[in-house]
Amino acid sequence: MFRILPLRHLRRHLPLAGEDRGGSTTTPLAPSRKSNPTSRQSIIRLQRSAHPPISDRMASLLDPTARGRVILVGAGPGDPGLLTVRAFEALKTADVVVHDGLIDPRVLDIAPPRAQRISVAKQRARHTLPQEAINALIIAHVKTGAIVIRLKGGDPFVFGRGGEEVEAVRAAGLPVEVIPGVSAALGCAAEAMLPLTHRDHSSAVSFVAGQCKGLTEQDWSGLAGQGRTLVIYMGIATATEIADKLMADGVAPDMPVAVLERGTLKGSRAIRTLLADLGPMVTREAVKSPAIIVVGEVVELSDAEDKLARWARVAEDAAA
């Protein structure tokens, strides 16, 4: 007959050789004269329940204390106030933050001071790291047991290459989670009071990238026109080509179009014109990225400044 003592009393009654400060033993228990195999097995079971193996502690994403994982986080369109509560909480757990450019410093400051911050900012035709290297960087940090926050502007799955990164992490056999964010289209449109859909003006909305390879080969037919809204990401550098492409597909040259520059950020602008004037307006107004283009009748409902009308007034005044 033997009695199993509570774990907190084990050290006083049964000193353990080779025990470190965490309570784990590196040397087997030496049997005393009063001990027997059954009691020793009970003590070992108690020790293991108090300090489960690392593999047991590497739980699923449902366990907030789980280590060695990736969380793709949408940082929203720019304003830190549009960050979701869940994204805020995830950032506070970060060991490593791999972030895009244009992320507000106040968002990065949410991560613990000890967290390593790595910028992988991308610009047109100039990337800090190619996508394959970013994937490898994330995986390497996760394999050390770190919680890696992959912080992306807007939403990770809307032209953010989030799908590619999820594929790479899963192929490496590592856990990954995605926390959605307010996309640039939604944030910028809301700031400009531009409804992307409207019962009287638009029953469909499409999102395309204006900077993808082979722009001329992309089939946008039917995406813009009466009763439809087209949102174009990364299209400022190719604005003239985009307007030509849409008009060649049958979109009316006088279709309203808006450019939403630096939406939700300091210095934001919302300006509008007609499709045929899109390229010239971008040049006249010296529009810079980040900006999105919105094509459709809903543009007329927005607060965007009508730049074509302004230039018409200037021309009229000059002729008077």
**pLDDT digits 0-9 by tens, 115-146:** 999 999 976 655 578 999 999 999 999 999 99
The question of whether 100 is a catalytic residue gets the answer yes
Q: What are phi and psi of 91, to 5 degrees?
A: -60, -35
102: left (phi over 0), alpha (psi -120 to 50) or beta: left
Residue 30 pLDDT more than 60? Answer: no
Per residue in 36-58, is it b (16+ CB within 10 Å) or e — as a string?
Answer: eeebbeebeeebeeeeeeeeeee
pLDDT at residue 215 in the model: 80
Residue 299 pLDDT more than 70? Answer: yes
Residue 245 pLDDT more than 50? Answer: yes
pLDDT at residue 126 in the model: 57
In angstroms, the CA 296 to CA 198 distance is: 11
**pLDDT digits 0-9 by tens, 205-224:** 999 999 866 787 789 999 99
Given the residues 100, 104, 155, 277, the one annotated as active site:
100
C-alpha 204 chain-centroid distance? 25
Residue 279 pLDDT more than 70? Answer: yes
Mean pLDDT of 271-294: 97
pLDDT at residue 217 in the model: 79
Least confident of 26-35, 93-102, 230-239: 26-35
